[in-house]
Amino acid sequence: MPEYSLRQRELFVQKSTRVAASYLRRTEELGDIPQAMKPFLDVLRRVFVDLEDVSRSQGMKTVGTYCVMLPSELIWAAGAMPVRLCSGSYTAYTIGDDLVPRDACPLVKSVMGFGEIEVSPLYSNCSLMVIPVTCDCKKKLAGMLERLKPTVTLHVPSSKERDADMEEYVRELYRLIPILEEVTGRQVTPQSLAEAINQKDYAQYEMSRFLTYRQHNPPLLHGTQVMAVMNAFAYMPPLEWAKCMRQLNDELEERLKQKKFAAKANRPRILVTGSPILYPNLKIPLLIEEMGGMLVGDETCMGERALYDPLTVTDRSFDGMMRALAGRYTRPCTCPTFTENRQRIFRIKQMIKDHQIQGVIYHVLRGCLVYDYEYPVLEEELEKEGIPIIRVESDYNEEDVEQLRIRIEAFIELLKLKQFSEQKARGTV
C-alpha cells in the first residue's frame, strides 16, 4: 500500500475540508434556517471541516459502524460511542480509487481513502469497526480494514421472513457482545441495555414529532437541511441529539404559528430514495432545491429510515430485549439487501401520501447494484399511481454536477407543468 508524505496529507486536508465547508455553507444559504439547527451543523463542521473527533465522555471509546442495521444500543450498553464511518468525501474517494477495483461503489472507496491516509481522528481513534455485510463491497471492505483496525463482520440474513434467519441474526448480536465488552472493559447488562434502549427511544420520539412538521405544506425547513440534521445523529450521543431536536421542534412549532415558511406551497414536492446520501456529498439534495424543487422526504438509510421505526419490547428480560433489537433492525428495514422487499414499495407509497409528493428522484451511486436492481420495479409501481420518477446516477466528484443539474432541472420543470395542468383542470388558475 502507498505511503503518504506530510505534504500529501496537508493537501488532502486542505481539499477535503474546503469541499466539506462549501457544502455546509450552501446548505446554510438555502434560506433562513432555525437557530436550533446550529448544534447539528456545528457537529458536522467539527468532524468534517475542523477534522476533530466526536465529543464524548473522557475515556469513552468509539466503535465505527457502517450500516444502520447494526443496533447502536448494544454499543452504548457496552459503554462505547458508535460513530458512522460511511463517508461522502470526494477527496478520500480519489485515494480509495487506487486501492479498490474501478467498479466498486464510491462509498467504499471513500472509506478506504480515509482509512489509508490517517488524517481524521474519527477513523484513527476508533477502537473497533463493526461491518454488517449487506453487499459484496461491504464484505471485501471488512477484509481490507482488518489490517488497519480490529474489525468484526455482522452477518445480515438475506430474508426476514423465515424464523430461522432471524434466529441466526439474534445469535450474531449475541456474538458481538463479548467483542464489545473486551474492547471497552465493561459488561453489557440488562440494566445498561435497557438504559441504552430508553435513550434511543427518546431520540425516536423527537424524530416522530419532527416528521409532523416536515410533512407540512408549505414546508417549514429545506430538505437538504433536514438531511444535515439526520447525518449529525451519527456523531452525537442520542440524548444530546434528542435534546437538540426537541429545541428544533419547539422552534418549528413557533414558525408554524407565525406562518414563517421555508418556501411557497407551489414548489414541486420531491422525494429522494435509493443509495445513501452522506455528508458532505449533498449535491443531489442541493441541486433539487437550488433548481426550484423542494425536497420534502427521503427514503434513505441516512434519512428518515434510521429513526423511523420505534423499538417495541414486550419481554423485558435480557433475551427479550435482544430479540426486540434483532426484529427492529431487520423486520421493518427497507434495504434492498433483502431478497424480498415489497415493504419498500409500500413504504415509499406511504411517504408519497404523507408528504404530498409530486415526483420521485431515484439516486444510484455508481456501482451500487442492490439499489439499481430495484429501480424498474419502483418505476412500474409509481407509473400506476401517476407519480413521475427519474433515475440519476452519480459518483463522488463534481465532474457530473452540470449533467445532473440539467436532468434535475428538466424533471422539476416537468413537475411544474404537470402541477399547472392539474390546477387548470380544477379551475384554480
Q: Identify the residue whose cell numbers are 444535515.
A: 228
Residues 350 and 352: their CA atoms lie apart, in Å, by 5
pLDDT classification of 111: cutoffs 50, 70, 90: very high
Tell me the three state secondary structure of residue 335: coil
pLDDT classification of 372: cutoffs 50, 70, 90: very high
Residues 64 and 124: their CA atoms lie apart, in Å, by 10
Residues 141 and 338: their CA atoms lie apart, in Å, by 20
Q: Which residue has the higher pLDDT, 341 or 63?
A: 63
Residues 198 and 239: their CA atoms lie apart, in Å, by 10
Quick check: 107 pLDDT over 60?
A: yes
Tell me the three state secondary structure of residue 230: helix
Q: Can you give the pLDDT at residue 160?
A: 84
User: Mean pLDDT, to the nearest integer, of 268-279?
Assistant: 95
The amino acid at 27? T
> Mean of the per-residue pLDDT values for the chain?
93
pTM of the model: 0.94
pLDDT classification of 1: cutoffs 50, 70, 90: low
**pLDDT single digits (tens) 382-427:** 999 999 999 999 999 999 999 999 999 999 999 999 888 888 888 7
Integer angstrom CA distances of residue 10 from 6, 44, 167, 343, 396: 6, 20, 48, 46, 21
**pLDDT single digits (tens) 199-241:** 999 999 999 999 999 999 999 999 999 999 999 999 999 999 9
User: Mean pLDDT, to the nearest integer, of 304-330?
Assistant: 90
Quick check: 106 pLDDT over 80?
A: yes
Q: Nearest CA to 27 among 290, 315, 361, 347? A: 290
Give all strands of the β-sheet with 269-274 in edge-to-edge order: 294-299, 269-274, 359-365, 389-394
386 bridge partner residues: none
Backbone φ and ψ for 321, nearest 5 degrees, come out as -70, -40
Chain centroid offset of residue 123 CA: 18
Q: Nearest CA to 138 among 367, 404, 416, 298? A: 367
What stretch of H or E contains 244? helix 238-257
pLDDT classification of 245: cutoffs 50, 70, 90: very high
Q: Nearest CA to 63 among 303, 310, 235, 242? A: 235
Q: Can you give the pLDDT at residue 340?
A: 80
Residues 117 and 394: their CA atoms lie apart, in Å, by 24
Angle, vertex CA 190, rays to CA 330 and CA 195, nearest 5: 75
DSSP string, 371-426: HHHHHHHHHHHHHHHT--EEEEEE-SSSTTHHHHHHHHHHHHHHHHHHHHHHHHHH
**pLDDT single digits (tens) 342-354:** 889 999 999 999 9
Q: Can you give the pLDDT at residue 399?
A: 92
Share of the chain above pLDDT 70, in %: 99
Angle, vertex CA 252, rays to CA 248 and CA 257, nearest 5: 150
Q: Can you give the pLDDT at residue 342?
A: 86
Maximum C-alpha span of the chain:
69
Q: Identify the residue whose cell numbers are 447494484.
A: 369
DSSP string, 89-141: -HHHHHHHTTTS-TTS-HHHHHHHHHHHH---HHHHTEEEEEEEE-SHHHHHH
134, 67 Cβ separation under 8 angstroms = yes
Q: Can you give the pLDDT at residue 429?
A: 65
C-alpha cell at 392: 440519476
Highest-confidence range of 72-76, 263-267, 331-335, 340-344, by mean pLDDT? Answer: 72-76
C-alpha cell at 361: 428522484
Instruction: Give the range among 22-26, 79-83, 337-341, 375-379 with minimum mean pLDDT.
Output: 337-341
Q: Nearest CA to 62 among 48, 71, 72, 50? A: 72
